[in-house]
């Protein structure tokens, strides 16, 4: 998977849009909440409601999954492209992140 393919997939989600809150860092949001941090080598996504759930990715893909700095304690991981994680699994991770973020939005702001 490439960065362009990942962003294109993210934008298929209802209400998804890109933003650049920090110079050179593209994120994908729903409403005003980030559900995917994009990068040249991977994507940062919410992989569980808490750290314990997200740690399953670390156990399954120790070379290609890591805890995100600063927000990792809340279940966010970085998942690397073109490693052991299949493209379908990356898409599933984006789907799960989107759903977790949307579920926390007030009903009036959900797509």
CATH number at residue 30: 3.90.1150.30
For the segment 16-44, the average pLDDT, to the nearest whole number, is 95
> Under 8 Å CB-to-CB from 61, ≥6 apart: which residues?
79, 83, 84, 85
For the segment 32-61, the average pLDDT, to the nearest whole number, is 96
Domain containing residue 96 = 3-109
For the segment 58-84, the average pLDDT, to the nearest whole number, is 96
- Count structural domains, the chain: 1
Q: Return the pLDDT at 99.
A: 97
**Neighbour count for residue 62 (Cβ, 10 Å):** 10
| pTM (2 d.p.) | 0.94
Q: Return the pLDDT at 24.
A: 84
Q: Return the pLDDT at 50.
A: 93
């Amino acid at each position: 998977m490439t960065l362009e393919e990942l962003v294109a997939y993210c934008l298929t989600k209802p209400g998804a849009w890109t933003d650049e809150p920090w110079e050179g860092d593209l994120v994908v949001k729903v409403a005003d909440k980030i559900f995917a941090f994009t990068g040249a080598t991977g994507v940062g996504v919410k992989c569980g409601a808490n750290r314990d759930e997200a740690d399953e990715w670390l156990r399954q893909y120790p070379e290609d999954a890591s805890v995100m700095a600063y927000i990792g304690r809340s279940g966010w991981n970085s998942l690397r492209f073109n490693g052991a994680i299949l493209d379908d699994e990356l898409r599933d991770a984006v789907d799960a992140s989107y759903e977790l973020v949307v579920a926390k939005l007030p009903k009036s702001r959900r797509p």
